[in-house]
């Protein structure tokens, strides 16, 4: 799997874990058993791999490709960022943010609803912290996620309905919103990757660079510590010495290079060196640098630690961070089909234990961002692939809900938007949109506007045809 800093190590991809309740897959394009990049076989090639970033073979090459791909990017100001809390598997809207207390139990489910800080708005009883802080959130109860599926999870992460590899052989080529932010905005600091994925349990849980190229794939934060490590016996002093020698040789070659290409390559090599040796990214990934009281505030659950890490990353210059909120590499922990269908479980035994963790995670993150003066610049988005069926008892279970792409709920916080509101509504039984549909394109347009990315920007497919980054969408007007 090629990482954003592939100049230092690479690894062969392992086969994907199959989806337990579906026989359809679309993974052939991932070449899971093919080693990409530089594969290390000996001490000599290990040294070559670790110094490749200095020699312009990998990381500098990716930086050069990224620079070529973003040469038409307009300068942007500020430290705008997005943190996407990706609830892998598709959380039930009825059992979280859109309760139906007046419906029979087979529709309303086993949970009670509670009032929130926003008058007249109720949410699930297992989200009490968010209920008390709902004036800082916007709930959208009318998201139209038709065509969305998972494994791979593409439509909502790309905001393009054609990005469905199970039905479209080119579906995997539509780039993630995070990749497009990396393409048209870049990082807020040159020493940071622009698009980072945390806690990635499976490649199928995320959208990737697609048509933009691997240089716009997310940086795999799960392997950050290993990627920043130097091979045994190679110190920063030795690396600096090697770099100095390389610079001297490049100077000689540059004197013969009338086109200036070598001078540009020097710049990319310098960037590569700065990312590793400069320490900004490495320091951002080191939670030991965080005060003990802040670590304790987030708590010990791994999802919460990943949220703290996301805050550190945007604080230091990353533009887009996605956290894969899942515990396994199948379709995702929020895929609650029923207690008789492990490992997903049903609403009571599967979803109920997740909600207090999520409640603590999202409220702690939003409060921490606000305390640090980062919330207006950082848009927090929490969503999954789709909602869940309005009636309990799918696939032979008595307590599960099936995939339901006709309507779902999501929540937003921060970004300098107007919050403390509910946008749209589902029908009385939660089975369809009642009014004010919000499309994937609307979500994308809102994110791009926040990030200073032109809404009329395009990229090209493999035939050179332009594709607009926003398909049938406008910024969500109620947030202004």
Output the pLDDT for position 280: 86
Q: Is residue 356 part of a domain?
A: yes
What range defines the domain where residue 188 resides? Answer: 79-232+281-479
Number of domains observed in the structure of the chain: 1
- Tens of pLDDT, residue by residue over 224-252, are 766 666 555 555 555 555 555 555 555 54
DSSP for 257-285 reads -TTSHHHHHHHHHHHHHHHHHS-HHHHHT
Between 366 and 29, residue with greater pLDDT = 366
pLDDT at 268 over 60: no
Nearest CA to 69 among 188, 176, 185?
A: 185
Q: Give me the CATH number covering residue 121.
A: 3.40.720.10
- How far, in Å, CA of 385 to CA of 409, rounded? 10
Q: Is residue 297 part of a domain?
A: yes
Output the pLDDT for position 71: 58
Output the pLDDT for position 206: 97
Between 448 and 52, residue with greater pLDDT = 448
- How far, in Å, CA of 285 to CA of 196, rounded? 11
Output the pLDDT for position 13: 34
Contact 311, 369 (CB under 8 A): yes
Q: Is residue 254 part of a domain?
A: no
- Tens of pLDDT, residue by residue over 409-442, are 999 999 999 999 999 999 999 999 999 999 999 9
Output the pLDDT for position 354: 98
In the Cβ-directed half-sphere of 115, how many Cα atoms lie within 13 Å?
Answer: 4
- Tens of pLDDT, residue by residue over 50-107, are 433 333 335 555 556 556 555 555 555 689 999 999 999 999 999 999 999 999 999 9
- Tens of pLDDT, residue by residue over 202-213, are 999 999 999 999
Place of tokens 């300068």: 75
Q: Is residue 187 part of a domain?
A: yes
Output the pLDDT for position 44: 42
Q: Is residue 51 part of a domain?
A: no
Output the pLDDT for position 92: 98
Q: Is residue 47 part of a domain?
A: no
- How far, in Å, CA of 401 to CA of 29, rounded? 30
- Strand pairing report for 195-198 and 378-383: unpaired
Q: Is residue 243 part of a domain?
A: no
Output the pLDDT for position 262: 43
Least confident of 119-128, 217-226, 365-374: 217-226
Q: Is residue 216 part of a domain?
A: yes
Band (pLDDT 50/70/90 cuts) for residue 279 is confident
- Tens of pLDDT, residue by residue over 111-134, are 999 999 999 999 999 999 999 999
pTM, rounded to two decimals: 0.81
List of residues 6+ apart from 85 with CB closer than 8 A: 307, 323, 325, 358, 361, 362, 380, 381, 382, 383
* Long-range CB pairs of 244-253, under 8 A, 24+ apart, other chains included: 246/54, 246/55
Contact 196, 219 (CB under 8 A): yes
């Amino acid at each position: 799997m090629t990482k954003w800093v592939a100049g230092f190590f690479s690894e062969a991809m392992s086969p994907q874990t199959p989806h337990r309740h579906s026989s359809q897959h679309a993974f052939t394009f991932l070449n899971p058993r093919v080693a990409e990049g530089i594969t290390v076989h000996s001490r000599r090639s290990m040294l070559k791999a670790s110094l490749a970033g200095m020699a312009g073979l990998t990381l500098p090459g990716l930086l050069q490709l990224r620079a070529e791909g973003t040469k038409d990017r307009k300068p942007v100001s500020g430290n705008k960022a997005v943190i996407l809390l990706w609830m892998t598997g598709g959380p039930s809207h009825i059992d979280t943010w859109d309760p139906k207390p007046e419906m029979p139990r087979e529709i309303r489910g086993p949970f009670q609803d509670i009032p929130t800080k926003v008058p007249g708005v109720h949410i699930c009883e297992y989200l009490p912290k968010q209920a008390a802080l709902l004036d800082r959130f916007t709930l959208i109860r009318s998201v139209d996620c038709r065509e969305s599926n998972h494994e791979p999870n593409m439509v909502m992460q790309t905001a393009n309905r054609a990005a469905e590899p199970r039905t479209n052989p080119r579906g995997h080529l539509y780039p993630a919103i995070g990749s497009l932010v990396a393409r048209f905005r870049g990082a807020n600091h040159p020493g940071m990757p622009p698009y980072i994925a945390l806690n990635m349990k499976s490649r199928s849980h995320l959208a990737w660079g697609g048509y933009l190229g691997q240089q716009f794939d997310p940086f795999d934060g799960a392997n950050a510590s290993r990627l920043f490590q130097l091979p045994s016996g190679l110190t920063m002093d030795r690396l600096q010495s090697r770099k100095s020698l390389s610079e001297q040789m490049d100077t000689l070659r540059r004197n013969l290079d009338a086109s200036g290409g070598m001078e540009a390559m020097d710049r990319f090599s310098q960037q590569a060196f700065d990312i590793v040796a400069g320490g900004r990214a490495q320091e951002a990934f080191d939670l030991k640098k965080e005060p003990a009281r802040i670590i304790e505030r987030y708590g010990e659950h791994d999802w919460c630690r990943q949220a703290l890490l996301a805050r550190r990353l945007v604080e230091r210059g990353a533009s887009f961070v996605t956290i894969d909120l899942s515990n396994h590499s199948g379709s995702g922990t929020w895929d609650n089909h029923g207690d008789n269908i492990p490992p997903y479980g049903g609403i009571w035994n599967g979803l109920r234990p997740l909600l207090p963790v999520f409640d603590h995670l999202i409220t702690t993150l939003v409060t921490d961002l606000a305390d640090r003066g980062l919330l207006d610049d950082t848009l927090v988005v929490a969503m999954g692939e789709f909602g869940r069926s309005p009636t309990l008892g799918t696939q032979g279970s008595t307590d599960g809900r099936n995939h339901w792409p006709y309507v779902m709920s999501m929540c937003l916080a921060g970004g300098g938007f107007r919050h403390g509101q509910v946008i749209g509504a589902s029908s009385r039984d939660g089975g369809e949109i009642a009014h004010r549909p919000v499309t994937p394109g609307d979500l994308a347009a809102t994110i791009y506007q926040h990030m200073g990315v032109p809404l009329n920007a395009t990229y090209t497919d493999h035939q050179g045809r332009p594709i607009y980054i926003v398909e049938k969408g406008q910024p969500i007007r109620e947030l202004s």
